[in-house]
Amino acid sequence: MKMSASTLVIAGRIINQLVRDRRTIILIAVVPLVIASLVGVSVPDKSILDYTAPAILAVMILFFGFLLTGISFLRERSQGTLERLMASPVSRLDIVGGYLLGFLLFAVVQTMVLFFYLIYVIKVNYYGDLWQILVFQVLIGIGAVCMGTFFSVLAKNEFQMVQFIPMIIIPQMFLCGLLWPVSQMPEYLQWLANVLPMTYGVSGIRALMLQGQDLLDIGKEIGVLAAYAVGLLILSAITLRRGKG
Amino acid sequence: MPEKNFSGPAVAVDKLSFNYGRQKVLDELSLGVPGGISFGLLGPNGAGKTTLIRLLVGLLRARAGTILTLGRKPSPRIAHLIGYMPQLPSLYNELSVIQNVEFFARIYRLRDRKQRTQRVEEVIKLVDLWQHRNKSVTNLSGGMRQRASLACAIVHNPPLIFLDEPTVGLDPELRVHFWEYFQGLTASGSTLIISSHTMDDAAHCDRLAFMRDGNIIALGTPDELRQATGQAKATLEDAFLYFIKHGGVNENVG
Give residue-wise pLDDT tens across range A46-61.
888 888 889 888 888 8
- Going by pLDDT thresholds of 50, 70 and 90, the confidence category of residue B6 is low
pLDDT at A243 over 90: no
pLDDT at A223: 96
Residue B164 to chain A, least CA–CA distance (Å): 12
Task: Give the bridge partners for A30, in sequence order.
Answer: none
Interval A81-132: pLDDT, tens: 999 999 999 988 899 889 889 988 888 888 888 889 999 998 888 888 889 9
Listed as own residue / partner, the contacts of A171-175 with beta carbons closer than 8 Å and 24 or more positions apart are A171/A196, A172/A59, A172/A62, A172/A196, A172/A197, A172/A198, A172/A199, A173/A59, A173/A63, A173/A198, A175/A199
The least confident of A146-160, B110-124, B193-207 is A146-160
Q: How far is CA A171 from CA A54, A201, B165, in A?
A: 18, 14, 46
- In three-state secondary structure terms, A181 is coil
CATH number at residue B154: 3.40.50.300
Q: Which of A81, A243, A244 sits opposite B92 (nearest CB)?
A: A81
Closest CA to B197 of B87, B82, B74: B87
- In three-state secondary structure terms, A219 is helix
A241 vs A63, residue with greater confidence: A63
- Chain B residues within 8 A of A243 when measuring between CB atoms: 58-61
SS3 of B17-78: EEEECCEEEEEEEEEEECCCCEEEEECCCCCCHHHHHHHHHCCCCCCEEEEEECCECCCHHH
Tell me if B90 and A5 make a contact (CB, 8 A cut-off): no
In a domain, B65, yes or no: yes
Tell me if A20 and B20 make a contact (CB, 8 A cut-off): no
pLDDT at A245 over 60: no
Q: Does A83 touch chain B (CB under 8 A)?
A: yes
pLDDT at A241: 64
Mean confidence (pLDDT) of chain A: 88
Total domains in chain B come to 1
In a domain, B19, yes or no: yes
Mean confidence (pLDDT) of chain B: 88
Eight-state DSSP code of residue B12: E
- Going by pLDDT thresholds of 50, 70 and 90, the confidence category of residue B254 is very low
- Chain B residues within 8 A of A81 when measuring between CB atoms: 90-92
pLDDT at A3: 64
Tell me if A81 and B57 make a contact (CB, 8 A cut-off): no
pLDDT at B80 over 50: yes
In a domain, B186, yes or no: yes
What CA–CA distance (Å, rounded) separates A56 from A74? 27
pLDDT at A68 over 60: yes
The least confident of A128-137, B96-105, B162-171 is B162-171
In a domain, A244, yes or no: no
pLDDT at A163 over 80: yes
Q: Decide: B59 and B96 in contact? Cβ < 8 Å.
A: no
Closest CA to A138 of A195, A193, A62, A203: A62
In a domain, A245, yes or no: no
Residue B150 to chain A, least CA–CA distance (Å): 12
In a domain, B1, yes or no: no
What CA–CA distance (Å, rounded) separates A87 from A189? 44
The residues near B184 (Cβ < 8 Å, ≥ 6 apart) are none
Q: How far is CA B201 from CA A44, B162, B208, in A?
A: 72, 15, 10
B71 alpha carbon, distance to own chain's centre: 18
The domain in which residue A172 lies consists of: 5-239
In a domain, B24, yes or no: yes
Interval A205-238: pLDDT, tens: 999 999 999 999 999 999 999 999 999 988 888 8
Interval B120-169: pLDDT, tens: 999 999 888 999 999 999 999 988 999 999 999 999 999 999 999 988 87
What CA–CA distance (Å, rounded) separates B100 from B127? 14
What CA–CA distance (Å, rounded) separates B33 from B9? 6
pLDDT at A2: 54
Query: Looking at chain A from residue 167 to 186, which residues have their Cβ under 8 Å from any Cβ of chain B?
Result: none
H/E element, B207? strand B207-212
Nearest chain A alpha carbon to B80: A89
- Chain B residues within 8 A of A83 when measuring between CB atoms: 59, 86, 90
In a domain, B5, yes or no: no
In a domain, A222, yes or no: yes
- The pairing of beta strand B64-69 with beta strand B11-20: antiparallel
Q: Does A79 touch chain B (CB under 8 A)?
A: yes
Tell me if A88 and B104 make a contact (CB, 8 A cut-off): yes
Q: Which of B60, B82, B91 sits opposite A81 (nearest CB)?
A: B91
pLDDT at B92 over 90: yes
Task: Give the bridge partners for B218, in sequence order.
Answer: B210, B251
In a domain, B129, yes or no: yes
Mutate to test the interface with A, among B16, B59, B146 (most CBs of A within 10 A): B59
Total domains in chain A come to 1
- Going by pLDDT thresholds of 50, 70 and 90, the confidence category of residue B69 is very high
The domain in which residue B51 lies consists of: 11-252
In a domain, A135, yes or no: yes
